[in-house]
């Protein structure tokens, strides 16, 4: 039986972009200035980009604050777009906004948000909740479920955590993360760091590094002290990067997964560390 398209069907442009309407009220703020106030945004997936971005009708954007970009970027993807600098007083934000090519997305403007070198707006909100890094993908799920599984985490042969009361976090496209009560983690084996990351699904994470030797990447352990409401059950619990430790679940050793975080973890460079994407832990 055929299915008629709905108002929320994902559509494809001739240029290869995917898009669909969103009913969320989205606002973007720079300093004290609300630059975007939109009740009719689109979610747009660019070719080669794993997460969506918002595009906003021009009438819901402060176009009076946009100027033609003084130094627009170049390259295959940039050449078909019109870029704008944002001027809210003070130093303009370079290439803060742009248009997408083609007829389908004409009349919409998007703003720098995910993995852009130049700074963007200070805060983004969906309804009354602040979100970070990138818009949440409505086609992905993040479920945090309390469990009675027996989870043991070892680092270089040392048991770092042992629990029978984890919260399992299932996130589309990522390995299961095991969030463990602090009482069941050997926190004396770790030291807190000043690293933090933001995840659009979970919030702001704080980190710890392994005190011992061995080839263990920094910031291997994290926690969300004040998670977003949808994953409130992980509040204050601790999780390890499966990519860098040995995890046994109900007596079965789990192979270390290879994910988008693997290279970043072991490269040892701050610029390459995950910033929530998808998220990890944290992207």
Q: Are the C-beta atoms of residues 170 and 154 closer than 8 Å to each other?
A: no
Is residue 81 helix, strand or coil? coil
Going edge to edge, which strands form the sheet with 123-126?
33-38, 26-30, 123-126, 129-131
- In the chain, domain spans: 11-131, 142-272
pLDDT of residue 114: 67
Q: Taking the domain 142-272, which CATH number applies?
A: 2.170.150.40
Cα 141 from Cα 23, distance rounded (Å): 18
Is residue 44 helix, strand or coil? strand
| CATH 3.40.50.10860 applies to domain 11-131 | no
Q: Are the C-beta atoms of residues 42 and 19 closer than 8 Å to each other?
A: yes
CA atoms within 13 A on the CB side of 236: 4
Beta strands in 40-115 (DSSP E): 42-45, 53-57, 66-68, 83-86, 93-98, 108-111
Q: Please, is 62 exposed, middle or buried when counting C-beta atoms within 10 Å of its C-beta (0-12, 13-18, 19+)? A: middle
pLDDT of residue 279: 43
Is residue 235 helix, strand or coil? strand
Identical fold at 11-131 and 142-272?
Answer: yes
pLDDT > 90: percent of the chain:
71
pLDDT of residue 6: 52
Q: Which residues of the chain have pLDDT under 70?
A: 1-8, 76-79, 114-118, 268-283
What stretch of H or E contains 128? Answer: none
Count of other CB atoms within 10 angstroms of residue 160: 24
**Start-to-end C-alpha separation, the chain:** 40
Taking the complete model, does pTM exceed 0.85, yes or no?
Answer: no
As a 3-state breakdown, the chain gives helix, strand, coil percent values, each rounded to 5, of: 10, 40, 50
CA of residue 32 relative to chain centroid, distance: 25
Count of other CB atoms within 10 angstroms of residue 144: 22
């Amino acid at each position: 039986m055929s299915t008629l398209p709905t108002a929320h069907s994902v559509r494809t442009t001739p240029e290869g972009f995917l898009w669909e309407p969103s009913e969320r009220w989205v606002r973007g703020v720079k300093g004290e200035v609300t630059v975007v106030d939109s009740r009719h945004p689109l979610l747009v997936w660019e070719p080669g980009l794993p997460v969506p971005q918002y595009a906003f009708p021009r009438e819901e954007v402060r176009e009076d604050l946009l100027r033609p970009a003084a130094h627009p970027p170049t390259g295959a993807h940039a050449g078909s777009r019109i870029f704008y600098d944002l001027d809210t007083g003070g130093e303009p934000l370079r290439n803060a906004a742009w248009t997408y090519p083609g007829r389908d997305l004409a009349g919409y403007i998007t703003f720098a948000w995910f993995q852009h070198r130049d700074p963007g707006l200070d805060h983004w909100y969906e309804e009354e909740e602040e979100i970070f890094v990138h818009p949440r993908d409505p086609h992905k799920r993040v479920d945090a479920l309390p469990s009675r599984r027996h989870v043991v985490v070892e680092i270089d042969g040392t048991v770092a955590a042992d629990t029978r009361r984890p919260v399992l976090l299932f996130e589309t496209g990522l390995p299961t993360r095991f969030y463990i009560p602090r009482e069941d983690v050997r926190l004396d084996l770790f030291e807190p760091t000043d690293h933090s990351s933001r995840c659009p699904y979970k919030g702001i994470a704080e980190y710890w590094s392994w005190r011992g030797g061995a080839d263990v990447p920094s910031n291997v352990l994290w926690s969300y002290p004040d998670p977003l409401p949808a994953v409130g059950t992980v509040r204050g619990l601790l999780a390890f990067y499966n990519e860098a430790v040995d995890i046994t679940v109900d007596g079965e050793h789990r192979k270390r997964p290879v994910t988008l975080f693997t290279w970043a973890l072991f490269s040892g460079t701050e610029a390459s560390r995950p910033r929530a994407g998808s998220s990890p832990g944290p992207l």
